[in-house]
Structure 1
Amino acid sequence: MVIIAAAFVLLLALGVPVVFVLGSSAVLSLVLTTNVPVAIVSQRVFAGLNSFTLMAIPFFVFAGVIMDAGGISRRIVDFASALIGWVVGSLYQVSCVAAAGLAAISGSGSADTAAISAIMQPQLRRRGYDIDFGAALIACAGSIAQVIPPSLTMVILAVVSNVSIGALFISGILPGLLCIVMLMVISYLRARNGGAAYRETEAFTLARLGRTAWAALPAAGMPAVILGGILGGVFTPTEAASVSGFYGLLIGAFVYRDLKLSALPGLVLRTASLSSAVMLIIGTASVFSWLIANANVPQVLGGWIASVSTSQVVFLIIANILFLFVGMFLETIAAILIIVPVLLPISAQMGVDPVHFSLLVILNCAIGTVTPPYGVSLFVASSVAGRSVLDVSRKLLWPLAGLFVILIAVTFIPGISLFLPRLFGLID
């Protein structure tokens, strides 16, 4: 175990891509410390990917790609602007509301961050808003796509933790909306004393709201189809993902007519590229997780935590700190595949509801995408804004603090995440 840990840290420090870090350190440990044939690696990679549920990933990725190319993102932002654009600091508020809308369609934090940044940053610059704070806010709001269903991260975590995808999807609705509301409050407080630049000049009108709502209505049908189909037992989450991709294709090509069918081959290739990167990480991480399990790391760590305290509260605090720390350095999927198999058996021993624990993991991973030095959403927002990560990070304190408040609330008030799954009869 020492060898695999040393190899992992060394390769990561050298800047080796995480997928090769996982695979190389696992193979090195296998060769040096066991007599198991190396051929087992390919078998474990296949076993890690041999899941019907994981087939949802390329379909959800395709839906996100179609959403961007088909003009769905722009219409969601237009509706958000008409709905909340009259409030002080309106462009900040619109960014938050649009993030919630896009999260219910794409399921990808980095994709939402890129889409919102591309649309909102030129407006922020034109109106004289604080660009760095805007980028930090959009990064935090975009990261909530991991919490609000449908979420690619939730699909992967549901497979790893063996919980119902439907229950996990529904559990993220209230915490995700609370995160968005918290970011909107912080935006308002920030803009209130910011001067004339933050005062909206365009008045609220029902005509504009109705027009943009009508234009966004077909796009809003996607989350209704996904969640309604899953909760109604019409189709499985994997089937829901494929339906969402087909639905997005129909809306973009034949309703909005922004999507040209000639562009479809390129979009399919882009989907394949993005999906293969995710699948490769899942496959190599499954080998890594298998070795960790064989080394009895969960039992050793569980014994250590039990020696520290048998309190469920203490365990949840330790788990949050561990995930927040790991999220600063590891890609979300890799962090889940490495840490969750270690902590999940301990959480069961401590009496933590598996859906509650899984939702805490998702929240921590979302925060991890905006915390330096790895934070992918932070890098995306900074890049689109044309600002350095350091400049944007300086304005990250208050948006990040707001997410921490929600994380603490969800940690110690399980009902926030479990109320809706219980209401729909998905858990006891």
Structure 2
Amino acid sequence: MTFIHLAGPALVVTLLFLLKTPITWSMAVGALAFFLLNMDMIPLSNFAQEMAEGSQSVSLLALPLFVLAGCIMNASGITRRLINLADVLVGHMVGALAQMCTILGVLLGGLTASSNADAAMLSKTLGNQMVHKGYSRAFAAVITSSASIITALIPPSIGLIIYGYLSETSIGRLFAAGLLPGLVLAVGLMVTTRIVAGRRGYLPQRDSRATRAEVGSAFFDGLWALSIPVVIIGGTRYGLFTTTESGAIVVLYVLFISLFVYREMRWSDLPNVLAEAARDSATVMVMICAAAAFGFYLSWEAVPQSMSGWIAGVTDDPLLMLLLINIVLIILGTAIEGSAALIILTPMLMPIVNNVGIDPVHFGIVFITNLTIAGITPPVGGMMYISSQILKVPMMDYAREVMPFLLAMLVVLVVLSAFPQISLFLPNLIYGGVGVM
């Protein structure tokens, strides 16, 4: 009976995974199975309480607010302006449309806060253009999904907000820490794109580089949108508002831009925008609540302590520990969706990270990068599914095409792991010292 109590919920979740049940409901049903098996010790009503407690954090208020800000910006014509800016910056390069995907991934990171949203947007816009221009569908799906990974690092990243909440790490410092790694990842993708596109003869969009006047005009046109990360980091650094309050400030800021600066959004569009934001936010929040209930089961059975003891027994060297965790995460990433892994594994891994002296901000950037790379890794990659579905690409074709990009991102992951200064330079420069929430 003890074995059933311990392994029963895990077996339920595994079975639901195999049946391709959405991760949220797999965790929720697995948690419910645990409470049903232990009704003699734990009241069944605790299941609902644990689900509700998953949402009881002031820090999580930032999540729906940033999602709403992204939805407002998407409805205001900002994407078109940023595509134009990407074109003048890299339109002269080989494989220009693919290079534009990466640049647009950087620019959109401060707007959508969601890698899945970026994968859908890039696939619908530049992905279809690439197919029309003779790029292979599989290549188009790979680069649009790969570029969306950058969004997980550029503030305001939903992943960084969730990690900061779960690990009790300063979200402001995490936002600052993501900027340089996001740019390093972009460079890695652009170099890989140049090699692949050059071999296949994917042509530039422009005959020559854009003039300074063109670059200046495109930059000025997109300046309002590009200023959003500056508003967030600057405001939190100088105490004008907290990270949570910054979400509300950004909503007001982008609403002003959309209605009075660009004037491509009307008041009558707001109900649809609010409905979209509510749906997107609810999807993430329900997953957090389900993971909280499932996390209670893991804690009750002392799974985090057992995992910590096993990994801690291997090495106490911070770099080796980080590389070992990376290997474990890469393996898990092939089977568990990144957002769910983030919610489940953060409480398990933080004791290990703290014991060996790894900076939680540095670990957060490596952790988020690793789990987001899982989003383009078959068979459960979320961004892979989005781009492949939109561009009608079979999984095997995608799997073959993604290999050089996966290799490039794994190299970047090792670099970020080995050189914490890349992640910590900006937060230490802006905030100084080591911050907490």
Q: The TM-score by the shorter chain falls in which range?
A: over 0.9
Following TM superposition, by how much is the alpha carbon of 1:199 offset from its aligned partner in structure 2, in angstroms?
A: 7.0
Whether 1:5 and 2:4 are equivalent positions in the alignment is no
Q: Distance in 2 between matches of 1:146 and 1:360?
A: 11
- Alignment TM-score, normalising by the size of structure 1: 0.95
1:77–1:94 Cα contact (<8 Å) kept: yes
Aligned equivalent of 1:153, options 139, 150, 159? 159
> How many residue pairs were aligned?
428
Mapping for residues 83-94 of structure 1, pairs under 5 Å = 83-94=89-100
Q: Which residue of 1 aligns with 2:354?
A: 348
Q: Distance in 1 between matches of 2:13 and 2:289?
A: 16
Following TM superposition, by how much is the alpha carbon of 1:400 offset from its aligned partner in structure 2, in angstroms?
A: 1.4
Q: Which amino acid counterpart does residue 389 of structure 2 have in structure 1? A: S
1:56–1:239 Cα contact (<8 Å) kept: yes
- Alignment TM-score, normalising by the size of structure 2: 0.93
Whether 1:275 and 2:254 are equivalent positions in the alignment is no
Aligned equivalent of 1:308, options 303, 314, 321? 314
Q: Which amino acid counterpart does residue 238 of structure 2 have in structure 1? A: G
2:137–2:392 Cα contact (<8 Å) kept: no
Q: Which residue of 1 aligns with 2:3?
A: none
What percent of counterpart residues are identical? 34
Q: Distance in 1 between matches of 2:100 and 2:93?
A: 9
Aligned equivalent of 1:201, options 207, 215, 232? 207
Task: Tell me which moved more, 153-162 or 238-247.
Answer: 238-247
Mapping for residues 58-69 of structure 1, pairs under 5 Å = 58-69=64-75
What are the superposed Cα offsets for residues 271-310 of structure 1, whole Å, 9 maximum, x if unpaired?
1111111111111111111221222222212222233333
Task: Tell me which moved more, 89-98 or 320-329.
Answer: 320-329
Whether 1:260 and 2:259 are equivalent positions in the alignment is no
Q: Which residue of 1 aligns with 2:76?
A: 70
What are the superposed Cα offsets for residues 174-199 of structure 1, whole Å, 9 maximum, x if unpaired?
11110001111111122223337347
Q: Which residue of 2 aligns with 1:331?
A: 337
For residues 199 and 151 of structure 1, do their structure 2 counterparts lie closer, same or farther at Cα, with a shift above 3 Å needed?
A: closer
Aligned equivalent of 2:395, options 389, 397, 400? 389
1:150–1:223 Cα contact (<8 Å) kept: yes
Following TM superposition, by how much is the alpha carbon of 1:350 offset from its aligned partner in structure 2, in angstroms?
A: 1.6
Q: Distance in 2 between matches of 1:427 and 1:296?
A: 34
Q: Which residue of 2 aligns with 1:111?
A: 117
Q: Distance in 2 between matches of 1:27 and 1:195?
A: 54
Q: Which residue of 1 aligns with 2:104?
A: 98
Q: Which residue of 1 aligns with 2:226?
A: 220
Aligned equivalent of 1:14, options 8, 19, 24? 19
For residues 347 and 316 of structure 1, do their structure 2 counterparts lie closer, same or farther at Cα, with a shift above 3 Å needed?
A: same
Structure 1 residues without counterparts, runs of 5 or longer: none
1:68–1:115 Cα contact (<8 Å) kept: no
Following TM superposition, by how much is the alpha carbon of 1:203 offset from its aligned partner in structure 2, in angstroms?
A: 4.3
Whether 1:168 and 2:174 are equivalent positions in the alignment is yes
Q: Which amino acid counterpart does residue 55 of structure 2 have in structure 1? A: L
Tell me the SS of whatever aligns to 1:49: coil
Tell me the SS of whatever aligns to 1:70: coil
Aligned equivalent of 2:150, options 144, 150, 153? 144
1:129–1:198 Cα contact (<8 Å) kept: no
Q: Which residue of 2 aligns with 1:130?
A: 136
Task: Tell me which moved more, 45-54 or 385-394.
Answer: 385-394
What are the superposed Cα offsets for residues 216-273 of structure 1, whole Å, 9 maximum, x if unpaired?
1122122221222122221111111122122222222222222222121011111111
Q: Which residue of 2 aligns with 1:297?
A: 303
1:129–1:197 Cα contact (<8 Å) kept: no
1:89–1:200 Cα contact (<8 Å) kept: no
Tell me the SS of whatever aligns to 1:308: coil
1:104–1:150 Cα contact (<8 Å) kept: yes
1:298–1:346 Cα contact (<8 Å) kept: no
Whether 1:192 and 2:206 are equivalent positions in the alignment is no
Structure 2 residues without counterparts, runs of 5 or longer: 1-5
2:123–2:390 Cα contact (<8 Å) kept: yes
Q: Distance in 2 between matches of 1:71 and 1:256?
A: 8
Q: Distance in 1 between matches of 2:72 and 2:135?
A: 30
For residues 237 and 196 of structure 1, do their structure 2 counterparts lie closer, same or farther at Cα, with a shift above 3 Å needed?
A: closer
After superposing on structure 2, the runs of 4+ consecutive aligned residues of structure 1 that deviate more than 6 Å are none
Aligned equivalent of 2:55, options 46, 49, 52? 49
Q: Distance in 2 between matches of 1:55 and 1:199?
A: 42
Q: Which residue of 2 aligns with 1:284?
A: 290
Tell me the SS of whatever aligns to 2:200: coil
**Over aligned residues, Cα RMSD in angstroms?**
1.8
1:147–1:366 Cα contact (<8 Å) kept: no
